[in-house]
Amino acid sequence: MDEALIRARGLRKSYGAFEAVRGIDLAVRAGEAFGFLGPNGAGKSSTMRMIGAVSPVTAGELRVLGMDPATEGPAIRARLGVCPQDDTLDMELSVRENLTVYGRYFGLSRAECAERADELLAFVALTEKAKEKVEELSGGMKRRLTIARSLVSRPDLLLLDEPTTGLDPQARHLLWDKLFRLKQSGVTLVITTHYMDEAEQLCDRLVVMDNGVIVAEGSPAQLIRDHSTREVTELRFGPEVMSEDHDALAEKVTDLADRVEVLPDRLLLYTDDGEHAVAHVHERGLEPAAVLVRRSTLEDVFLKLTGRTLVD
Amino acid sequence: MSVALENTLRQYDYWATVYRRTWKGSLVTSFLMPLLYLAAMGIGLGSFVDDSATSADALGGVSYLQFLAPGLLAATAMQIGVFESTYPVMGGIKWHKTFFGMIATPLRPADVMLGQLGFIAFRIATTSVVFVGVIAAFGGLVSPLGLLSLPVAVLVGMALAAPVAAIATRLTTDAGFALIFRFGVIPMFLFSGAFFPVSQLPDEVEWLAYLSPLWHAVELSRDLSLGEVQALPALVNLAYLLLWFAVGTWAAIRGLTGRLIS
């Protein structure tokens, strides 16, 4: 079972002096949903464009569907579906024409294109909009159309670069549902996202990227196990407690948790037994205004690995 | 090469759909403008020119309409070629980003550029067919060879469209297009011999006209239309236009590849 659809070793990408991807290794297997998680500028999109055979590899090795993107780009792209970060739909064409015209680029016959277009419009629930101009669609509808377009050639591998960025919750859930059904039908998905819930919902396995390198790898559950505690106790103090005092408060509870994080509005105690920590907090005379014990999430892992500092 | 041809043909449905959507909008610029030019310059201004004593000499014994029409055809083709390779090319890269969608398929940037240029050639050809028909109706064609000014018009349009597309792929804003029109297209349109023989220009700038691809097209088109074509000058004109087209296409493909594949 070494038939990886994507295999990278020491993969690098530079734009001039700027190194966007600084040596990553990965293998994506057939049928899985693989995620790239990371803040903006982590190198996710650069990696996706190299996999999509539209961006030359600077150094290292990359094989996609067993082929070399440098020499067999068109053959690779013939079997890929790409849903880019920005919609590249054609505003001059109708919704349905965007699908039929695109199918022709893959060398499909007109009859096949027509049949696929009708199937896909039904799949993404846009049949009623078939004749409308793309301009008149909402953001969510455009994303759905972009995904439909990326499926027109029945790809083996679907690349989705931030598929739900900018969508409202209803539109996101609808898209997740569609992507889940695609995965069930055997399409291999590669997804970049900076939404933790999206990664947890969709990805069997993911890598966390930061600054052009992979900082962690595994299933969502495994990542939480490896990089966080089972539970997190959040202590919020009232407005009379200044945030400067948080450091002093943290001192008092530091032995109650594997790790204590001090935020302006609350303390986070990373521990395997949240309730146990809560009991001791009260014993030590601390009086938080609100206490919350919750399970660790991928977001905790993400923030621990990539930091809380804003990256632009 | 056959791959490039096949990939370019795969874009036929796209361009056909675009044309069905937009041809009405291009009616005025494509068909009405040449008609107005021919009427105003050829007939209106022409009646003055033909009455002048010195004109018979300078124009070589033909009416001003017959002198003007083949040159105006070439000049109009040049304008369409330039216009169609500015905003549409930049739009595909920068505004609608449709070219990025196209190269996420087996199509390569070269195929996308060839498809775009093919469509421009089609636009020039359809306009020129109407134009030649109008010229013939006005009695502007002296020789049946004048029908060959049609392919010459397409060629000069493409000889400009390709290098302008090459520039468009390298620009990041559309401000540069205004410069192309002001300092390239308009002077070339006026001073490449379409409206008056370039020998009337001051000697210091006359050579500039010979560098202009449009002058070569005007000469060739006019010689064909008047039935005075000679092999050697015609070959030089043709070769010069082909050179612009070939170098322009090469540069346009390189430019588009640079923008799409990075």
CA distance A75 to chain B (A): 7
> CA A9 → CA A12, A21, A22, A23, B49, distances in Å?
9, 12, 11, 7, 76
Q: Are A176 and A201 in contact (CB under 8 A)?
A: yes
Signed CA dihedral, B98, B103, B105, B108: sign only: positive
* Per-residue pLDDT, A70: 96
- Mean pLDDT for A260-271 is 89
Contact B104/A56, CB-based, under 8 Å?
A: no
* Per-residue pLDDT, A312: 55
Contacts of A74 in chain B (CB under 8 A): 3, 106-108
Q: Which residue has the higher pLDDT, A48 or A243?
A: A48
Q: Cα angle at A303 between A211 and A21, to 5 degrees? A: 15
Contact B100/A88, CB-based, under 8 Å?
A: yes
CB of A74 within 8 Å of a chain B CB? The answer is: yes
Mean pLDDT, chain A, whole residue set: 91
Contacts of B96 in chain A (CB under 8 A): 88, 90-92
CB of B20 within 8 Å of a chain A CB? The answer is: no
What percent of chain A has pLDDT above 70?
97
Rounded to whole angstroms, how far apart are CA atoms A223 and A208?
9
> Checking DSSP bridges between strand A266-271 and strand A259-262, what pairing results, if any?
antiparallel
Q: Cα angle at A87 between A81 and A89, to 5 degrees? A: 80
Beta strands in A143-201 (DSSP E): 157-161, 188-193
Rounded to whole angstroms, how far apart are CA atoms B33 and B39?
10
Rounded to whole angstroms, how far apart are CA atoms A161 and A54?
14
Q: Which residue has the tokens 């969709």?
A: A202
What confidence tier does A73 reach under pLDDT thresholds 50, 70, 90? very high
User: What secondary structure letter does DSSP report for A28?
Assistant: E
Residues of chain B with pLDDT under 70: 1, 53, 55-56
* Per-residue pLDDT, A1: 43
Beta carbons within 8 Å of B204's beta carbon, 6+ residues apart: none
The residue among A217, A152, A224, A151 whose CA lies nearest residue A183 is A151
Signed CA dihedral, A280, A281, A287, A290: sign only: negative
> Checking DSSP bridges between strand A4-15 and strand A59-64, what pairing results, if any?
antiparallel
Annotate B72-123 with DSSP letters as a single string: HHHHHHHHHHHHHTTHHHHIIIIIS-HHHHHTTSS--HHHHHHHHHHHHHHH
Rounded to whole angstroms, how far apart are CA atoms B149 and B155?
10
The ipTM value here is: 0.90
CB of B95 within 8 Å of a chain A CB? The answer is: no
- Mean pLDDT for A155-183 is 90
Rounded to whole angstroms, how far apart are CA atoms B113 and B116?
5
Beta strands in A162-248 (DSSP E): 188-193, 205-210, 213-218, 231-236
* Per-residue pLDDT, A87: 86
* Test the A interface: residue of B6, B11, B14, B114 with most A CBs within 10 Å: B14
Contact A54/B104, CB-based, under 8 Å?
A: yes
Which of A77, A86, A89 is the closest to B104 by Cβ? Answer: A77
CB of A67 within 8 Å of a chain B CB? The answer is: no
Contact B262/A15, CB-based, under 8 Å?
A: yes
Beta carbons within 8 Å of B196's beta carbon, 6+ residues apart: B58
What confidence tier does A2 reach under pLDDT thresholds 50, 70, 90? low
Contacts of B22 in chain A (CB under 8 A): 92
Contact A104/B22, CB-based, under 8 Å?
A: no
CB of B106 within 8 Å of a chain A CB? The answer is: yes
Rounded to whole angstroms, how far apart are CA atoms B13 and B22?
14
User: What secondary structure letter does DSSP report for A94?
Assistant: B
Token pair, residue B84, equals: 């169609």
Rounded to whole angstroms, how far apart are CA atoms A104 and A82?
16
CA distance B260 to chain A (A): 7
- Mean pLDDT for A4-31 is 96
Contacts of A86 in chain B (CB under 8 A): 97, 100
CB of B108 within 8 Å of a chain A CB? The answer is: yes
Contacts of B97 in chain A (CB under 8 A): 86, 88
Q: Is a pLDDT exceeding 70 seen at residue A311? A: no
Rounded to whole angstroms, how far apart are CA atoms B184 and B173?
18
Contact B97/A88, CB-based, under 8 Å?
A: yes
> Checking DSSP bridges between strand A266-271 and strand A231-236, what pairing results, if any?
antiparallel
Let me know how long chain B is. Answer: 262
CA distance B254 to chain A (A): 15
Token pair, residue A282, equals: 């009260």
* A218: region left, alpha or beta (phi > 0 left; psi from -120 to 50 alpha): left
Contacts of B104 in chain A (CB under 8 A): 52, 54, 77, 80, 82, 84, 88, 150
CB of A135 within 8 Å of a chain B CB? The answer is: no
Contact B101/A73, CB-based, under 8 Å?
A: no
- A266-279 residue pLDDT tens: 899 999 999 999 99
Q: Is a pLDDT exceeding 90 seen at residue A265? A: no
User: What secondary structure letter does DSSP report for B249?
Assistant: H
* Per-residue pLDDT, A165: 84
- Mean pLDDT for A27-47 is 94
Which of A91, A97, A106 is the closest to B96 by Cβ? Answer: A91
What confidence tier does A40 reach under pLDDT thresholds 50, 70, 90? confident
CB of B11 within 8 Å of a chain A CB? The answer is: yes
DSSP H or E run through A119: helix A110-123
Rounded to whole angstroms, how far apart are CA atoms B16 and A49?
30
Which of A88, A100, A153 is the closest to B101 by Cβ? Answer: A88
* Per-residue pLDDT, A243: 65
Contact B98/A88, CB-based, under 8 Å?
A: yes
Which of A97, A105, A110 is the closest to B105 by Cβ? Answer: A105
Contact A55/B262, CB-based, under 8 Å?
A: yes
Which of A54, A100, A101 is the closest to B260 by Cβ? Answer: A54
Beta-bridged to residue A112, according to DSSP, are none
What confidence tier does A92 reach under pLDDT thresholds 50, 70, 90? confident
Helix-helix angle B2-9:B109-137, to 10 degrees? 70
Its pTM stands at 0.91
Q: How many CB pairs under 8 A join A and B?
A: 79
